[in-house]
Amino acid sequence: MRLASRTRPRRGVPERDAALVRELVAAVGAPNVRTDDAQRALLRRDASVFDGGDAGPVCFPRTAEEVQAVVRAARRHGRAVVPRGAGTGLAGGAIPLGAPVVVSLARMTSIGEVDRDARAVWVEPGVVNLDLTRHLRPLGFHFAPDPSSQQVCTIGGNVANNSGGPHCLAYGVTNAHVLAMDVVLPDGEMARLGGLDPEPSGLDLRGAFVGGEGTLGIAVRIAVRVTPNPPAVRTLLASFSQVRDAANTVSAVIASGIVPAAMEVMDQRITRAVENYVGAGYPLDAAAVLLAEVDGLPDGTAHDADAIARIAREQGATEVRLAADDRERALLWKGRKTAFGAIAQIAPDYYLHDTVVPRSRLADVLEQVYAIADRHGLMVMNVFHAGDGNLHPLLLFDAREPGMLDRVHAAGADIIEASLAAGGVLSGEHGIGVEKQAYMDRMFTPDDLDHQNRLRRAFDPECAANPGKVLPTGHSCADIQQLSSAARGLWV
């Protein structure tokens, strides 16, 4: 799907918004409230291919109390609120719809003292994912979820989308690493969800909030689990003459009882782009490469690495290489993590898709993805979290070509249908946002959607938190028309 185009916002603050802006300035200070066209244009879209929305006033709070004050001011004026992280989201989840107050959390970047006994640390939502791990490593820990955008994405955004990453195969996605949160609810009240106790009492509202895409409130402090750095790590690179053989190797490794820390597959097109961009030592003649990593005690990692190499050869690997040292290992992962940037050599735009299919169907669905791209006249590259079946086809295109975006979105829809038909699900880590919204009733029954809507309304009875996202049209807050009449048309 694609959001309808909208006219550009006019200059200045609409007269009827003057009182709201005055309250926001009183809440966070004049330098931290922006109403100019340039700032609102920057925050009217995210990293997705979907057309931008309409941002109202933009606020940059620095404390939890300031976030509360902003939310309360917005509610007094009947305006919705959209939280904003680094804007790296790929499903349109951060696009502001209906001229809401945009709450940027970019200036909330403090990291507390690590509780070594609880293996936890409190952080603010604007902390960049990789910065947190860099802070923790000298202390003997790291933050396990490692999205490919970890150099820029924030912990608050990771919480909103329940983000994953290559090393979430063994360690789990963000939800497994969030212990508690202080949350500003849509009415401006503060609540703590979860706790540092091993078994917090009551309902798991923490678990409900993670992955809520900002529709349940704004996390202002997050207690994350820190993971001890492993004593030994071994990284293998296996080359294959067929993509199917690489996919089958993944299933065979898991079937053997080994759960690596990570298993990533890249096809030849993306491998060549990465090698030309980074020079990581990837083979250029392989149809696909499998990057597998095991960590733990030295003897155990040596045993598992040998077993994975043997299985890869049994499945048709033409070469299996063990990273000789930390430098080579880091270079191989640098190649994988910069894969999306590497495609700028080939095309100016790309649509990064996100579905999950059963590992046993990986090879079949990949063949369908190539056929779908050919049918729509598009180039596709495949790089994905193979261990948990999370596909990330990259559709390359030039948005300046007439009708191109329509072809891209049509191909994306076909990939969704192929994934669902294989027993898959809509998203592994990018979220629903506006991208998958129209397909929610393909995966969930009316009763399922009704219960999701009831949960959302329990947190947000007035549909004030990031409206127009996740639930499909006809289900409460999904309808842009249900936004307060005071919010519609003010900034357009």
- Is residue 485 pLDDT above 60, yes or no? no
Say if pTM beats, i.e. exceeds, 0.85. Answer: yes
Tokens of 406: 């329509």
Q: What percent of the chain has pLDDT over 70?
A: 93
Residue 331: its H or E element: helix 326-337
Domain ranges of the chain: 15-107+452-482, 120-228, 232-340, 347-437
Residue 264 CA to residue 334 CA, distance in Å, equals: 13
Query: pLDDT for 426-446, tens place per residue?
Result: 999 999 999 999 999 999 999
In sequence order, the β-bridge partners of residue 350 are: 396
Q: Is residue 405 within 8 Å of residue 434, measured between CB atoms?
A: no
- Is residue 125 pLDDT above 60, yes or no? yes
Residue 156 CA to residue 250 CA, distance in Å, equals: 31
Query: pLDDT for 298-339, tens place per residue?
Result: 999 999 999 999 999 999 999 999 999 999 999 999 999 988
- Is residue 482 pLDDT above 80, yes or no? no
Q: Closest Cα partner for 89 from 41, 147, 133, 146?
A: 147
Count of CB atoms within 10 A of residue 118's CB?
Answer: 14
pLDDT of the residue at 222: 98
CATH number of the domain located at residue range(s) 15-107+452-482 in this protein: 3.30.43.10
Residue 454 makes CB contacts below 8 A (sequence gap 6+) with none
Q: Is residue 156 within 8 Å of residue 219, measured between CB atoms?
A: yes
pLDDT of the residue at 476: 60
Query: pLDDT for 85-119, tens place per residue?
Result: 999 999 999 999 999 999 999 999 999 999 999 99
- Is residue 492 pLDDT above 60, yes or no? no
What is the number of alpha carbons within 13 Å of residue 442 lying toward its C-beta?
A: 17
Torsion angle (degrees, nearest 10) of CA 271, 364, 235, 241:
-60
pLDDT of the residue at 204: 93
pLDDT classification of 419: cutoffs 50, 70, 90: very high
Count of CB atoms within 10 A of residue 400's CB?
Answer: 8
pLDDT classification of 52: cutoffs 50, 70, 90: confident
CATH number of the domain located at residue range(s) 347-437 in this protein: 3.30.70.2740
In terms of C-beta density within 10 A (0-12 exposed, 13-18 middle, 19 or more buried), how is residue 33 classed?
buried
- Is residue 403 pLDDT above 60, yes or no? yes
Q: Is residue 121 within 8 Å of residue 111, measured between CB atoms?
A: yes
Mean pLDDT of 448-452: 95
pLDDT classification of 234: cutoffs 50, 70, 90: very high
In degrees and rounded to multiples of 5, residue 453 shows phi and psi of: -65, -40
Mean of per-residue pLDDT scores for the chain? 92
Q: Is residue 272 within 8 Å of residue 289, measured between CB atoms?
A: no
Residue 393 CA to residue 351 CA, distance in Å, equals: 8
Residue 161 makes CB contacts below 8 A (sequence gap 6+) with 89, 91, 93, 174, 211, 213, 429, 430, 431
Q: What percent of the chain has pLDDT over 90?
A: 87
Residue 372 CA to residue 366 CA, distance in Å, equals: 10
Torsion angle (degrees, nearest 10) of CA 48, 343, 325, 230:
10
What is the number of alpha carbons within 13 Å of residue 240 lying toward its C-beta?
A: 24
Correct CATH for 232-340 of 3.20.20.100, 3.40.50.970, 3.30.70.2190, 3.90.850.10: 3.30.70.2190
What angle is formed at CA 325 by the lines to CA 322 and CA 326, rounded to 5 degrees? 115
pLDDT of the residue at 328: 95
For 234, the 3-state DSSP assignment is strand
Q: Which CATH architecture has domain 120-228?
A: 2-Layer Sandwich (3.30)
Cα diameter, the chain: 71
Same CATH topology for 15-107+452-482 and 232-340: the answer is: no
pLDDT of the residue at 198: 78
Residue 17 CA to residue 61 CA, distance in Å, equals: 19
Tokens of 164: 């994953």
pLDDT classification of 51: cutoffs 50, 70, 90: confident
In degrees and rounded to multiples of 5, residue 225 shows phi and psi of: -80, 135
Query: pLDDT for 162-173, tens place per residue?
Result: 999 999 999 999
pLDDT classification of 1: cutoffs 50, 70, 90: very low
Q: Is residue 103 within 8 Å of residue 70, measured between CB atoms?
A: yes
- Is residue 473 pLDDT above 90, yes or no? no
- In angstroms and rounded to an integer, the radius of gyration of the C-alpha atoms of the chain is 23
- Is residue 450 pLDDT above 50, yes or no? yes
pLDDT of the residue at 209: 98
Residue 295: its H or E element: strand 288-296
Strands 33-34 and 58-59: antiparallel
pLDDT of the residue at 50: 87
pLDDT classification of 483: cutoffs 50, 70, 90: very low
In degrees and rounded to multiples of 5, residue 252 shows phi and psi of: -70, -35
pLDDT classification of 197: cutoffs 50, 70, 90: confident
Q: Which DSSP string do the residues of 347-359 spell out, in sequence order?
A: -SEEEE--EE--G
